[in-house]
Structure formats: structure tokens, C-alpha cells
């Protein structure tokens, strides 16, 4: 049995107590951007309840075109007004370089990715970089709050990064 | 008090019972790609425990360059071997068109997004489109399983979409 099948069995149990549907727009008007890291259960870390906030995640919790796309849709079509950005300690993005990662792929499959891998060497500076990319976007302009944090995987605490 | 501040207060409570740190690589070797929708608590829907799986999310759960980047990092650097893709019923992406969305932005701020908004009109067909984009990528090649689902926001159940 694959892990996917195990998770599908879990879903059958989940659905037994499910009470839905909730409305489409996030009831707390919040959008979270966070790293994909397996240790970041964003709903638990922030105490999010079903239906409250959009959750956008990728490798690093960095802001690229696709996060701008998601945030623009979140704000313009579904009314979110606060953005919470979350990176974390012990992040995989601290362990490699774009050049090395792309060279390894090129060596193996013959094609070099045309995108940046977005590796970084300074966690807090990359939180600031992501905050600045949002602040600089002409498409994400509707928020009243934009704050960035580092989640400590050893303590479970969010520590704010000031721009 | 902002909602962000409320969530930060929740985080203080969360950290009180926190036991960490867990290892960086996902222990179940799974990567999930899902929509950012507020009603999709991916950890609960699949029964994921802390540290088991990467969770990648965006508007629609679509596969663009940034999801390919995240999946490539997930597989090549952190050893994931299964991909679970999740769209859902009552998705916001079914409610607009790329052309209209981008025209509204251009009318307001004078600049037209250079990216696709990735709206879609057929839920199951867009799951297949996302599966095909992964299958077609030269950079995401390490998985042994790739399956797509529609989460029903009325019942809590995942229904598989066959390619």
C-alpha cells in the first residue's frame, strides 16, 4: 500500500465527522504565505479554523510570480486584507545554491531550469526580500497589514522580522 | 487588534505543548499540491502528522513554474517519492476568466500582469491539466506515484480524477 492510499483511508475517517460546506471567502480575511516544510502545520501554528484564511505554500515561503498571482486573486476576488509571511529555522533552502542545484539538473537531464531555485543564505534577510517583493508589486495592493516571521522548529514559536 | 495579532496569541499557546525539532526531510516521502482555499486543512483532510509531507499550495492548486520548482527541490534534495494533487468543489478559480481579471487590474493600476491567472471552467479537466504539466516536466522525475483528487467541500471526501 502506498502512503497515498494510507492518507486516503485517513480521509474516509475525516469525512465521517465533517460538517460543511463553509462559505468560499476567508472569514478572517487573512492570507498566509509559508514554506512547504513538513513541520509547519500552519493551521495549528496559528490556530486557524476551517474557512478563515488562504494558505499559500512553496519551497522556502518565497515570493515569486505565482505567489503574487495567488495573493492578487486572494485580495481582489476574495477580500483578504492581512498577509502573514512565514519562513522557518533549519530550512532546506539554506543548504544549497541555485547554481549548484541547476547544474546538477542540467548534468542529469540535459536541460537547465529557466527559473530561479530561490535558495538563500540568510533567513531573516530572505523574509525581508519576500516582504519587499510584495510591497513592490502593483498587483497586490489591498492589504492593511503585511508582516513576516521566522518559525522556530525547535520551540514552535513565531519570531517577527522587522523590515 | 488585527487578526494577525490574534493568531500570534494562538501561537504562544501552540508553543507551550510543542515538542521539537523533527528532522528536515519528510518522513513519509510525500509532497502534496493543493489549492490555497481556506476550507482545505490539508493536514486534517489527509491525516498528516508533523514532519511527514511537504505541502505546496496556491490559487487553484494549479501547476506553474513555481510548483515545478518546489517539487524539484522536494524530490531531488529532500527525497519525496509520491505526489498528491488536490483541487476542490466550489473553487474561486471557476468564477472568473483570465482576460477579465487582468483587464480589471490594468484598468485600475495601468499595468497588465505578465502571468496567466490560471482560471479554469472544468474542475476535473484542470486536475488532469496539472497532472500532465508535472508528467511533462523534465525537472520532476523522481516520483513513483502521481495522483489527482477533487476535495468535496460539502462532504469532506477526496474523489480521484483518472487521467
Residue B159: the pLDDT is 98
Residue A20: the pLDDT is 85
| CATH code for the domain in which residue B100 is found | 3.40.1050.10
CA distance B107 to chain A (A): 12
DSSP secondary structure, B135-160, as one string = HT-SS----SEEEEEEE-TTT--EEE
By Cβ distance, the residue of B21, B52, B64 closest to A153 is B21
For residue range B116-136, list pLDDT tens digits in order: 999 999 999 999 999 999 999
Is B11 part of a structural domain of the chain? no
Residue B131: the pLDDT is 98
Is A103 part of a structural domain of the chain? yes
Is B136 part of a structural domain of the chain? yes
| Number of cross-chain residue pairs from A and B with Cβ atoms under 8 Å apart | 266
Residue A149: the pLDDT is 98
Annotated binding site of A: 35, 37, 88, 91
Is B98 part of a structural domain of the chain? yes
The answer to whether A142 faces chain B, any CB pair under 8 Å, is no
For residue range A115-136, list pLDDT tens digits in order: 999 999 999 999 999 999 999 9
Residue A32: the pLDDT is 98
Express as a percent the part of chain A with pLDDT over 70.
Answer: 100
Q: What ipTM does this complex have?
A: 0.98
For residue B66, say whether it is annotated as part of any ligand binding site: no
Q: Which of residues 105-134 of A touch B (CB under 8 A)?
A: 105, 109-111, 113-118
Which range of residues forms the domain containing residue A89? 23-161
Is A9 part of a structural domain of the chain? no
By Cβ distance, the residue of A70, A147, A156 closest to B14 is A156
Inspect the interface and report whether the beta carbons of A55 and B56 lie closer than 8 Å: no
For residue range B8-57, list pLDDT tens digits in order: 999 999 999 999 899 999 999 999 999 999 999 999 999 999 999 999 99
Q: How far apart are CA A148 and CA A34, in angstroms?
A: 10
The answer to whether A28 faces chain B, any CB pair under 8 Å, is yes
CA distance A87 to chain B (A): 14
Inspect the interface and report whether the beta carbons of B138 and A111 lie closer than 8 Å: yes
To probe the interface with A, which of B11, B18, B36, B110 has the most A CB atoms within 10 Å? Answer: B36
The answer to whether A136 faces chain B, any CB pair under 8 Å, is no
Inspect the interface and report whether the beta carbons of B84 and A7 lie closer than 8 Å: yes
Q: What's the number of domains chain A is made of?
A: 1
Is A148 part of a structural domain of the chain? yes
List, in sequence order, every residue forming a beta bridge with A34; answer none if it has no partner.
A57, A86
The answer to whether A20 faces chain B, any CB pair under 8 Å, is yes
Is B155 part of a structural domain of the chain? yes
Exposed e or buried b per residue across A77-87, where buried means at least 16 C-beta atoms within 10 angstroms of its C-beta: bbebbbbbbbb
Beta strand A158-161 pairing with A82-88: unpaired
State yes or no: pLDDT of A110 exceeds 90.
Answer: yes
Is A1 part of a structural domain of the chain? no
For residue range A71-83, list pLDDT tens digits in order: 999 999 999 999 9
Residue B93: the pLDDT is 98
Contact predicate B56/A33, CB 8 Å: no
For residue B143, say whether it is annotated as part of any ligand binding site: no
The answer to whether B73 faces chain A, any CB pair under 8 Å, is yes
- Give every CB contact of residue A85 below 8 A, 6+ residues apart in sequence: A32, A33, A34, A61, A63, A127, A130, A131, A134, A146, A147, A148, A149
List, in sequence order, every residue forming a beta bridge with A158; answer none if it has no partner.
A151
State yes or no: pLDDT of B161 exceeds 90.
Answer: yes
Inspect the interface and report whether the beta carbons of A55 and B54 lie closer than 8 Å: no
- pLDDT confidence bin for B1, thresholds 50/70/90: confident
Smallest Cα–Cα separation from A68: which of A144, A138, A147? A138
State yes or no: pLDDT of B163 exceeds 90.
Answer: no
Amino acid at each position: 500500500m502506498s502512503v497515498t492510499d494510507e492518507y486516503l483511508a485517513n480521509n474516509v475517517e475525516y469525512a465521517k465527522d465533517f460538517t460543511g460546506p463553509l462559505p468560499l471567502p476567508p472569514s478572517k480575511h487573512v492570507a498566509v504565505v509559508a514554506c512547504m516544510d513538513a513541520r509547519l502545520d500552519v493551521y495549528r501554528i496559528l490556530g486557524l479554523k476551517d474557512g478563515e484564511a488562504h494558505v499559500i505554500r512553496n519551497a522556502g515561503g518565497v515570493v515569486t510570480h505565482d505567489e503574487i498571482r495567488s495573493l492578487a486573486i486572494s485580495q481582489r476576488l476574495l477580500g483578504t486584507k492581512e498577509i502573514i509571511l512565514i519562513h522557518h529555522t533549519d530550512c532546506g533552502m539554506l543548504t544549497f545554491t541555485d547554481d549548484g542545484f541547476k547544474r546538477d539538473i542540467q548534468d542529469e537531464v540535459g536541460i537547465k531550469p529557466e527559473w530561479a531555485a530561490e535558495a538563500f543564505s540568510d533567513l531573516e534577510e530572505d523574509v525581508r526580500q519576500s516582504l519587499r517583493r510584495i510591497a513592490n508589486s502593483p498587483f497586490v495592493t489591498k492589504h492593511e497589514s503585511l508582516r513576516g516571521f521566522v518559525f522556530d522548529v525547535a520551540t514552535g514559536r513565531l519570531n517577527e522580522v522587522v523590515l
